[in-house]
Amino acid sequence: MNGKRILAFGAHPDDIEFGCGAFLLDAAEKGAHLNLVVLSRGEGGTHGDASVREAESRQAAHMLGADLQFLPTGGDTRIRSTLELTQHVARCIREAKPDIILAPTGHLNQHPDHRETHLLVRDAHRLARYGKTPEMGSLDAHAAQLLLFYEISSGSAAGEGLNSVLVDVSNHVENWKNLMGCHASQTRNMDYIDLQLSRARAYGIQAGVHSAQRFYSESSLLATSSADLANFRSQRF
């Protein structure tokens, strides 16, 4: 991970931290550079206003040592996968030049903003690598090494036909709790932190470790050599 660039997208200010925060903590510890892009300020949320949600996001980004930006969209509950916004996301990809891109899964049974963000990033990932994409002539094309999708809510697990990988995050559970705790406005009514920790613990049991996070890929994952493959392990349960 040393020197790798990771670009993580979230629909709302807490999505990235709850969905893949432990993985990002591990990557940052190992020398990765993190860029976070959030597509709303939680304007439509039941708890906390836009200024509170933005401040929480900036606190979490500071804890991760990550760069953070908010994209101009219709806002919470109004995110739509339009051509204009897809091109904007593609420009973000070309500017950041990430090795790894992270976005929410596209499962239908979840907040529509998550699904739309999935579509936006999925399409923008392609546009970013097409050399003659209109409106982006001033930026060099960029092909990321990996596009991976993370889970947010219990109903957002990816369906069949996707490849998945479990990442051991056992060493980062306590810091992950603190990272998710930055979004205090979202944990007063429901224990979302416990929900994420419980899912990670269940995945960890499957893999024979304390805690793990699952990521999904639409394409097969390639080990560049036998040495890479030697670092993988099968599930233990």
Determine how many CB atoms are found less than 10 A away from the CB of residue 63.
Answer: 17
Half-sphere exposure of 64 (CA within 13 A, CB side): 34
Q: How many residues does the chain have?
A: 237
CB 114 within 8 Å of CB 21? no
Phi–psi pair at 36, nearest 5 degrees: -115, 135
Tens digits of pLDDT across the chain (237 residues):
899 999 999 999 999 999 999 999 999 999 999 999 999 997 766 676 889 999 999 999 999 999 999 998 888 889 999 999 999 999 999 999 999 999 999 988 888 999 999 999 999 999 999 988 888 878 999 999 999 999 987 654 565 678 999 999 999 999 999 999 999 988 876 688 999 999 999 999 999 999 999 999 999 999 889 998 888 888 776
Distances (CA, A) of 101 to 163, 197, 205, 236: 16, 23, 27, 28
**What's residue 107's pLDDT?**
85
**What's residue 235's pLDDT?**
78
Determine how many CB atoms are found less than 10 A away from the CB of residue 175.
Answer: 18
Q: Any idea where the domains of the chain sit in the sequence?
A: 5-229
Q: What is the CATH number of domain 5-229?
A: 3.40.50.10320
CA dihedral 49, 51, 54, 55 (to 10 degrees): -120
